[in-house]
Each structure stands twice: as structure tokens, then as C-alpha cells.
Amino acid sequence: MSHPTVLTVVLNYKTAEMTLRAVEAVKDAMDGLSGGIAIVDNDSQDGSFEMLSREVASRDWDAEGRVRVIKSPRNGGFGAGNNVGIRAGLADGSAPDYVYILNSDAFPAPDALRILLDHLEATPETGFAGSYIHGPDGDTHLTSFRFPSIASEFEGSIHFGPVSRLLRKYRVPIETPTETRTVDWLAGASMLMRQSVLDEIGLFDETFFLYFEETDLCLRARRAGHQTDYVPASKVAHIGSVSTGMKTWRRVPGYWFDSRWHYFSKNHGTLYAITATLAHVAGGALHRLRCLLTGRRPNDPPRFLWTLLLHDFRALFRGRAEIREPATKGPVPNFHA
């Protein structure tokens, strides 16, 4: 009986040294598994591709094509970069049985990948499986979610306990499970995917530059009859926001608004997208009114609601989201906290 093959894709953007650490960790996690690792440099233009190629060769990681470095012709974002690696397949040109996407700042435990693989092998109804993600100090990173909806947009922006309790079944964040369970979608820091499911539903939608691409992919899998499972026994350490610089952002970047609009309008239609935006604005306005009356500081950045309204009004008449590569960076607030 042949063993399943796994293609690991590690996407690099100007974090070559960190990427090498991630690859070293996933090499250990792939010990005994058939397949290979594709490092995709997402058009870093800072010497990353050359450094990665040099280091992979000097460490003999490229023996028998076990580790390859691929240069993306453009920085099309997270989904597009991972698609480059997925389309490249294994070193012999064949398609793998599974694709494992791993962030360049994520470091799987030695058994993390094997646990995900065993789970998918044992549960044919599951298309994707993701790991328990924790910080370097062991702090839990929230990576399990429900699909966004009109109700969740209102709940996530009003920041009011009684409303959150009333709409608890619609809240996007799911408290980190302690046992394996099906969720709507998972963050893509460490996710194992069936190649057969990707063949059926397609790869990442490259209209998204950053954010909502995993949400969209998991929704397409769900609609095709494949579930997404959270597997806490698979543990991965994650620094977070190294490539995007999110921890130092001062305002919400345009591509977050682009991705949000595209997700709702593509998957639920224009009217739904409009209603979701109005629900978010209504909740946000009530939140700001409560802050004004109590002297609290609003949870979202200044002028965020106006920016959201203006962006989606323009997107409505543009007819299609135009996802832009970031020029400046600002914070993406935790709207669902």
C-alpha cells in the first residue's frame, strides 16, 4: 500500500531567516512522510530568493528535490503566493495527496503534521484540518471561527455584552476547542488540505490580497460537502504578523476593506453585502454613542465607519473589488473581540 504524499508550502515575504527556521521545523515534522517542501518567495525583491536558494543548497536540503525554492513573478498576496507552490506540485511533477500550508513564522511540533495527516486519513468527510496555534510563550492564538454574517457584523461592531450573548451563535470567534471538532473556518497558519478537494473547488481566490481568503476557501469546501476540522493535538508555535507588520499598524489598510467586500458580495450577493455593511455601521455607531456617554475610548480606529461606508459605496458602483497591495500599513482592530 502506497503512503500518502504531502506537499508543504511555506510562503516567504522579506523574512528569509525566519522562513529557514520554519522550514527546519517542518522538515522534522515531515520525517518519515513522503513528499516535499516548496518555499515560495513572494517577489520580496530584497535578496530573499537568492539567500533562500543558497541556504537550501548549502544545507543539502535540496537533495532529491526534498526542498525547493520557487520565485513568484509577483506579490499577489497570501492566496496567490500559496497557489504558486500548490500548482508547482512535487519535485517529480506529480500532484500530492495533501497540501500543507505553513506560515513562515510558524514552527510545528515534530508530530504536528503527522497528527493532521492521520486525522484526514481517518475522516474522509473532512477536507481541511488545522492545528492548535500558540505563541512562543505558550499563549493561545485564536484561530477557530464561524463564517461572517449580517448578524455577526452587528455583534462584532457593537461591543456590548447583552447583544453578544443574544447573538452568541453568530459570533465569528469560536472559543479554542480542547478536543477535535468541526468549525466553519480556520486561520491558514498551519492547515492540511486534501488535494482532491482543491481539485474540486479550486485554489485560493487570488482577488483577495490578505484576509478572508481562508474563509472563502473553507466556505467553498463546506458548500461542496467537505468539513473543516480543528485538531488541538497538532501544536504549532506562531510568532504572528511578521510579514504583514500588523502589530505595528496604525490604521486599517485598504486591502482589508477590499477583501471584506469581495467575500460578502461574491458568496452572498450584493444586497447581502450592503446589508452586512449597514449592520456593521449601525453596531459601530451605537458603540461610539455608548463610548461618548461613558467616556470610554472606541474599539475601532478614528473614521473607520466612514471609511467602510465610503469604500463599499465605491465598490458597489465599481462592480468588483480591486484588491490592492499595501502602500501604507495601519491596524486591523479585533472587530470580534
| The C-alpha cell that represents 50 in the structure block | 537568492
Supply φ then ψ for residue 203, to 5 degrees: -85, -165
pLDDT of amino acid 333: 38
Q: Kindly give, in sequence order, each residue whose CB lies less than 8 Å from that of residue 19, ignoring residues fewer than 6 positions away.
A: 10, 12, 39, 48, 52, 104
The three cell numbers locating residue 168: 452568541
Would you give the DSSP letter of residue 173? B
Q: Determine the pLDDT at residue 309.
A: 95
In order along the chain (337 residues), what is the average pLDDT of each group of 10 residues?
Answer: 90 95 96 96 95 95 90 95 97 95 96 98 97 93 96 97 96 96 96 98 96 97 98 93 46 91 97 98 96 92 92 83 40 36
| Model pLDDT for residues 281-333, shown as the tens digit of each residue | 999 999 999 999 999 999 888 899 999 999 999 998 876 544 444 433 333 33
What pLDDT score does 250 carry?
Answer: 62
pLDDT of residue 1: 56
CATH number of the domain at 5-140+176-244, please?
3.90.550.10
Q: Where are the domains of the chain?
A: 5-140+176-244, 247-318
What letters, b where the CB count within 10 A reaches 16 and e where it falls short, cover 154-184? Answer: bbbbbbeeebbeebeebbbebeeeeebeebb
Which phi and psi angles does 35 have, rounded to 5°? Answer: 140, -150
> Which pLDDT belongs to residue 81?
97
